[in-house]
Chain A
Amino acid sequence: MSIDIQSKPTETPSKDKKWVGSKLNRLEDKRLIRGKGNYMEDLKPLPNIHHAAILRSPHGHARIKKIDYTKAIDIPGVRSVLVGDDIRDWVKPFPVVADNPGKYFPMAIDKVRYVGEPVAVVIAENQYVAEDALDLINVEYEALSATVNIEEAISEEAPLLHEEEGTNVAIQRNTKFGNVDEAFEEADTVVKERVVFNRFTCMPLETYGVIGHWDSSNHAANIWCNFQGPFSMHAVMAKALGVVPNKLRIMVPSDVGGGFGIKITIYPYSCLITLASRKAGVPVKWIEDRRENLIGSSSGTDRVTYMEMAAKKDGTITGVRYKIMDSVGAYIRPPEPGTIFRPYGNYSGPYKFRNVELDLTAVMTNKVPTGPNRGYSCGQLYHALERTVDKLAHTLNIDPVDLRRKNILEPSQFPYTTPTGGYYDVGDYPAVLNKLLKSADYKQLLKKQEEMRKQGRHVGIGISLAVDPAASNMGYMDVGTPKDHSNKERPKSGSSEAATITIDYGGGITVTLNTAPQGQGHETVAAQIVADQFGCSPYDILVTTGSDTGTRAWTIASGAYSSRFSGTAANAILMACEGLIVKMKKVASHLMECSTENLDVIDGKVVHKEDAQLSMSLKKLAGIIHWNPTILPDEISNGLTHTSYFSLDSVKPVDENGRVNSSGLYSFAVDLALVEIDKKTFELNILKYYMAHDIGKSLNPQIVEGQLYGGMLHGLANTLYEEMVYDKNGQILTGTLMDYTCPTSAESIDLEIDHLETPSTLTPLGARGTGEVATMTVPAALTNAVNDALKPYNVVINDLPITPSKLFSILKEAEK
């Protein structure tokens, strides 16, 4: 007997129950569990594909004196070698929003500025031979001193990465909202904290992969790559490659092995490999290896934050000053320096305070350039904010939960516009908090902690709150646009997505998306939405994902990033269904000779509202439209394809006061951790971990849970285990998985998860984002819990990762 698991969904919605909101086995699993996925490395879309190997800088900072590749080119099987000199006339620097950006090209031209920077590309008939040739390229360098530490890189004495800029500060913006200075002058208490966030990468298991094909006859580029969007990067690439937009075609396969933001910044390599193709005259494939990935891919920024928080005696927070310094690495890789602007609208988090000062700096260092990394700088933000809230609670001797309760937004304040321009549509934050406290039995937990402390155990409770921004506004970067920049005249906005649905002559439904997912289950959720609209089974629907900018409908914002599918694409899909249904009703009304108002779509049929006997199957209707269009009235167009575009209206351009609603949707989350530091080994044991969320309507609870667990693991990884470490010369010490130690199933933790569903008022399905929230809350909750455990010893740990070794030094220091 053949068991087709896809035909036995875990839950079958009944008549009045919908597919949306139910748990069902994913459509994409069908191929993935059979090893029949379609990943970048599996593709062979063209004949005569050659393979690239990249020679990378061994220096953190050096001038390139000479490159000699004569020996390399002599190896049989080697076709060509691309070096910086070749690309001078072929590319323009990537366009960047920053005051002193330096020039960023896909490879080093005169200077290398980080270990791992591409210096030469060998193009050969296979990967093995390409790598043989790398060994024979001789590069003469003049080593320069490097700077890797954020605060040092800012100093006058620091070596300059881009001499022409005269500074390593790429961009700095200081903006005040409300009456910050007044708030601090009038405060009863001001607490200050320095918080350090480590450099960390979510490191997808599948590395970058590119097939670049330069079409010289058309001055066009065709690129296959495991890019995840946003397709605004299409514009960045087109500009760099010097092609008009319609001559740049980007194709992403249906399966991408994880992205987490890292695959947004694949585009420098997409360009590099296309340039290699231009030089070699053949299509070129490059699959990044893990070492290249750990030294030359993207990571999140390392950050130093100086926090100041003003408050009244009773614990009311009146103002916050953020002084944020991010190390963006050796170049500004767009969408960087988004790291300092991405949370613009939610810099005040879930709190009521209206006075905020943002002092935001992006600093260049001799490290690999950064890019978005799950939670895009919100992990950093809430780590600093929630640490400081805890410090305030500690200073005022108020329970951290009570302090937060006092300061979080009340339901009556919604819709709420934050001091920095964020627009939170609805929410009941206290209810979510209460739900968590109830599940955790907070009072009891405090008692338990007291008892355990009496036994001499280092036990801590930590809480963190976060407003999770999703569906980023394409215009948020404009807050950083230099004053004299021409872009000021062309503001940007929106968070849009497209979907196309076709019904074929047999009634088969195909959904075509350009969302380039990396495991988020877009095919499944799309099928759920469509199945509800047409009253059919999701397993009968074909969903095409990945992307193809040459043949599909897409928008500048398209892609799977910023937790946006459920708030954007899902709505475009719904609208496309509605478009088709309108048309089918029109056809049916003509054939059934009744008004469209009297028709409904139920169980795959167009049915007369008053007379259920009077119906026509969608299949039959589709057949007529395709096979016999001439019987239809002229005003009904041929074909059954509908493309819809959805854009969130709330994400407008930056306003005249410099405020911006940087995201379309905002979820809310509360985490609580109970931890214990082992007194002998100083290992951290996470005894309990609770989460409560309001992510709006959950379209598929199983996928939501999967996202929360996945996000948690990345949070756990960067809080306790993972760090990209550089020495003072810019040498990276974590270039293999032996050194960059990823947590395994043995380190993972169990979560107790609660939900409160307050549907979003901004999206037809009521959904918001969920994919990144746990990565934002976990570092803060765990750091707070550890510090609570350390409280009796009057010491704090404010830098990550929190390792047994660090806890040991801190506690030993305290003993002295």
Chain B
Amino acid sequence: MQENTHTMNITVNGVNYEKEVPVRKLLSDFLREDLGLTGTHVGCEHGVCGACTLFVNGEAIRSCLMFAIQADGADVTTIEGLERNGELHPMQESFSECHGLQCGFCTPGMMMAAIDFLKHNPNPTEQEVKEGMSGNICRCTGYKGIVDSVLKAAPLISKLETKSKVF
């Protein structure tokens, strides 16, 4: 049984790759194994935990629910792509300052979801953050630090010049 592969072209964090990929390979596995981008974590592989969340063409989606070859031609941003020119994204700074992480396993997906959430709601209330972030499970923080981080990042992100915004 020969593994069935397709050739694909994908841009990840600004770098273009042409790769031959098994058809059945999940996007999350492809990024981790074929591109060595292990910042994207896998917590459930059935769409519930949110750990694998990353941006495909500007939308934060579950990379465990997408086959890599479906991202042929896509522009992908993973956690490794948040830092631009040596400058951390305000979400990264806020997570550290507000103790938004403990073990850090949910953190990459959590930050991606948070950045995406703020795109739709740049100035949220605490309750809105709690509801808007409910697609990502964290088992360590009790969510308090996460909610604080998102609230703290919101005005900082609004202030960012458009060109330095990730999306």
Contacts and interface: CB of A to CB of B under 8 A. Distances in A.
A745 B106 CA distance: 13
A442 B49 CA distance: 39
B137 interface: yes
B69 interface: no
Interface string A198-211: 00001111110000
Contact of A519 (B103, B130, B147): B103
Interface of B: 1-3, 22, 24-25, 32, 37-46, 48-49, 51, 78-80, 82-83, 85-88, 92-93, 95-97, 99, 101-108, 111, 129-131, 133-147
A538 B21 CA distance: 45
B101 A33 contact: yes
Nearest to B145: A706
Contacts of B42: 41
Contact of A710 (B22, B102, B134): B102
B37 A25 contact: no
Contacts of A427: none
B105 A128 contact: no
Contacts of A748: 130, 142-144, 147
Contact of B22 (A42, A128, A521, A713): A128
A41 B49 contact: no
Contact of A205 (B46, B103, B145): B103
A289 B49 CA distance: 13
B139 A41 contact: no
A710 B130 CA distance: 16
A789 B147 CA distance: 30
Contacts of A258: 102-103, 105, 139-140
A520 B111 CA distance: 20
A331 interface: no
B96 A36 contact: no
B97 A41 contact: no
A797 interface: no
B44 A33 contact: no
A205 B142 contact: no
Interface secondary structure of B, over-half rule = loop
Contact of B48 (A25, A257, A738): A738
B41 A709 contact: no
Contacts of B140: 205, 258, 519, 706, 710
B146 A25 contact: no
Contact of A709 (B32, B85, B136, B144): B144
Interface of A: 1-3, 5-6, 10, 25-26, 28-30, 32-37, 39, 41-42, 75-76, 128-129, 132, 202-207, 255-258, 260, 289-290, 518-521, 702-703, 705-706, 708-714, 736-738, 742, 744-748, 750-751
Contacts of A37: 38-39, 104-105
B122 to A, nearest CB: 18
Contacts of A260: 139
A257 B145 contact: no
Given A35-B80, A748-B143, 20 more contacts: A26-B99, A32-B107, A33-B101, A34-B79, A35-B40, A39-B38, A128-B3, A204-B103, A257-B103, A257-B105, A290-B44, A520-B102, A705-B99, A706-B145, A710-B139, A737-B49, A737-B137, A738-B46, A744-B133, A751-B144
Contacts of B133: 744-746
Given A35-B78, A710-B142, A744-B143, A25 B97 contact: yes
Contacts of B48: 736-738
B72 to A, nearest CB: 19
Contacts of B101: 29, 32-33, 519
Contacts of B131: 745-746
Given A744-B143, A746-B134, A33 B43 contact: no
Contacts of A713: 139, 141-143
Which of B86, B96, B103 gathers the greatest number of chain A CB atoms within 10 Å?
Answer: B103
Nearest to A255: B104
28 contacts: A3-B88, A28-B104, A29-B101, A32-B104, A33-B104, A33-B107, A34-B83, A35-B39, A76-B2, A204-B103, A205-B51, A255-B103, A257-B41, A258-B102, A258-B139, A260-B139, A519-B103, A705-B144, A709-B143, A710-B142, A713-B142, A714-B139, A736-B48, A737-B46, A744-B135, A745-B129, A745-B131, A746-B134
Contacts of A202: 139
